[in-house]
Amino acid sequence: MKRLLPCALFFLLGSSPAGAVDERDPATVITQAITRILEVLDSHRAEFTQNPELLRNVVRENMLPLIDVVYSARLVLGRAGRGVSTEQLLAFSDALSNVLINRYSDNLIEFSSDRQIQVMPLKGKNTDKLTRVRTRIKLTRGGFIPVDYAFHRTDEGWKAFDVTVEGISYVITFRNQISPRVRAEGIDKVTADIIAGNVSLDE
Amino acid sequence: MIRFEPVKMRSLLSSACAVLFALLLTACASQPATMTDPEQDPWESYNRKMHAFNMGLDQAIFRPVAKSYDFIMPDAPQRGVRNFFRNLAYPVTFLNLLLQGRFEDSLTATGRFLVNSTVGLLGFFDVASKEDIPYYDEDFGQTMAVWGWKDSRYLVMPFFGPFTPRDVLGRGFYGFFYPPSYYAREHNNYVPIVVDLITLRASLLTFDDDIESAHDPYALIRDAYLQRREFLIYDGDPPVPDYDAMLEDY
């Protein structure tokens, strides 16, 4: 059963054909993905609690296609990304996005779809290239956590590249944590450390 | 209230001074001289030293105290006490909403304060949040930012940690109006303000592991603090960061 579940979920949720341009607007993209994840979570909570890896798979399948992991990784690297080969960049961005998705997923386990996720109306500076989707996750004890996603327009449609929780951006915060290490130790070492779980990516 | 005999007090003070001096020495020992954010943090080399001093002090005194409190007090009453102090600070929030010209919000804030002070039993229960009455986070530092003092550089204060000059000034005003500090001044009784600080530190214990395991804890605290302030100044909708500039020298 445990091994079957991820496969079943994959078919159930489907996957968009590669190369197609996603014409949905960013707010719809994020709302649909989160709603879908929470629905699956609601119906399989017991299994997911026992085996968090299953939920991570669901989150990965639903979130990864929405994220421009390479762009995100380049922002985190900044100047330290100079002279890095494409293979190195891809390996680094894979490792980074994997850890982030796992963290996101592990925090999600306590949430359910009746816990409202509210998408706020667009405000501020939004261009046809860059926009921000502001969401609020309501807490049962009252109040909410603001979670914002930064999107940019790519050839495949709108893709997210940054998450901001309570005003603290992942890209901006980890830039100063990771790029000095890459400059000092080289990207291969840092990538290996991220995969081995030796790099703290906590906020 | 605790009272010390003069002699006891003096020896206590001198040993405290010795501890502080030792901490300052270790703080000055070794720090990289690089500038990681020259624009917002031009005082980085001083700030790093003060950060190291604060961390030492935190290790030695504040964290153990907060941890003991966290160990003794169950979660529910802990939250209650936090709510109580948060509610006490709300008249100051109200004042700042007025100063920022947000009259309608200041009425909502009054409603929140009244509900929590009565139905919420002196503020121990945050009934207003359950009822979806919005919570505004405003202080004098934010008010000065709204008035035009937008950028203020990063400054690590001894004992108090992350600040900017603008927010130091703002905190000064706050200390003047905040009921527990007023009470401390007028009645020479520091118990409420000390309890407030202990519970505040205890509420931040969850971040300790993350900060400790970070590659550069100083930069982590600074970056998180400055972003959080910006977020509060703009009431949750700050300008989108200039991501393109981050790639410029890529």
Between chains, do A203 and B224 touch, taking CB under 8 Å as contact? yes
Contact (CB<8Å) B228/A168 = yes
Residue A43 CB-density burial (10 A; 0-12 exposed, 13-18 middle, 19+ buried): exposed
- Is A161 touching B (CB cutoff 8 A)? yes
CATH of domain A2-12+26-196: 3.10.450.710
B210 with A178: Cβ contact below 8 A: no
Pair B178, B88: CB distance under 8 Å = yes
CA angle, corner B34, sides to B32 and B37, nearest 5? 130
CA distance A183 to B22: 33
pLDDT tens sequence across B194-227: 999 999 999 899 888 888 888 899 999 999 999 9
Cβ separation B250–A180 shorter than 8 A:
no
Cα dihedral A111, A113, A116, A121 sign: positive
Q: In 3-state terms, chain A is what percent helix, strand and coil (to 5)? A: 55, 20, 30
Q: In whole angstroms, what is the distance from residue A97 CA to residue A171 CA? A: 12
Contacts of A124 in chain B (CB under 8 A): 237, 239-240
Residue B242 near chain A (CB below 8 Å): no
B238 touches chain A (CB under 8 A): yes
| Tokens 């990063």 sit on residue | B154
Helices (H), B119-178: 127-130, 140-146, 165-177
The number of beta carbons lying within 10 Å of the beta carbon of residue B144 is: 20
Our CA-based measurement puts residue A143 at a distance from the nearest CA of chain B, in whole angstroms, of 5
Interface of A with B in 90-149 (CB under 8 A): 123-125, 130, 132, 134, 141-143, 146
φ, ψ of residue A162 to 5 degrees: the values are -150, 145
The shortest CB-CB distance from A200 to any of B128, B214, B239 is to B214
Query: For position B246, what pLDDT does the model report?
Result: 84
Phi, psi of A122 (to 5 degrees): -65, 135
pLDDT value at position A203?
40
Chain B residues whose beta carbon lies within 8 Å of the beta carbon of residue A75? 243, 246-247
Is the CB of B249 inside 8 Å of chain A's CB atoms? Answer: yes
**pLDDT averaged per 10 residues in sequence order, chain A, 203 residues:** 46 48 82 87 86 90 92 90 90 91 81 72 74 86 86 90 92 89 90 80 48
User: DSSP strand E in A69-156: where?
Assistant: 117-119, 130-138, 144-154
Query: pLDDT value at position A125?
Result: 67
User: If contacts are CB pairs under 8 Å, which of residues 75-94 in chain B contact chain A?
Assistant: 79
Domain boundaries, chain A: 2-12+26-196
Say what the pLDDT of residue B6 is: 47
What stretches in chain B show pLDDT beneath 50?
A: 1-9, 30-31, 250
pLDDT digits (tens, 9 = 90+) for A107-135: 777 776 666 778 887 766 677 788 899 99
Q: Exposed/middle/buried for A198, CB within 10 Å: 0-12, 13-18, 19+?
A: exposed
User: To probe the interface with B, which of A106, A131, A176, A193 has the most B CB atoms within 10 Å?
Assistant: A176
Query: Residue for token digits 């527990």?
Result: B180
The HSE-up count of residue B221 (CA atoms within 13 Å, CB side) is 24
**Which phi and psi angles does A3 have, rounded to 5°?**
-80, -30
Instruction: List pLDDT tens digits, range B80-94.
Output: 999 999 999 999 999
Sheet holding A130-138, edge to edge: A117-119, A130-138, A144-154, A157-165, A168-169
Which residue in A55, A89, A64 sits closest to A188, CA to CA? A89
Placement of tokens 């100083």 in the chain: B218
pLDDT at B11: 53
How many whole angstroms from its chain centre is CA A103? 9
pTM: 0.82
Instruction: Give the residue carrying structure tokens 């519970």.
Output: B199
Under an 8 A CB cutoff, do B230 and A167 touch? Answer: yes
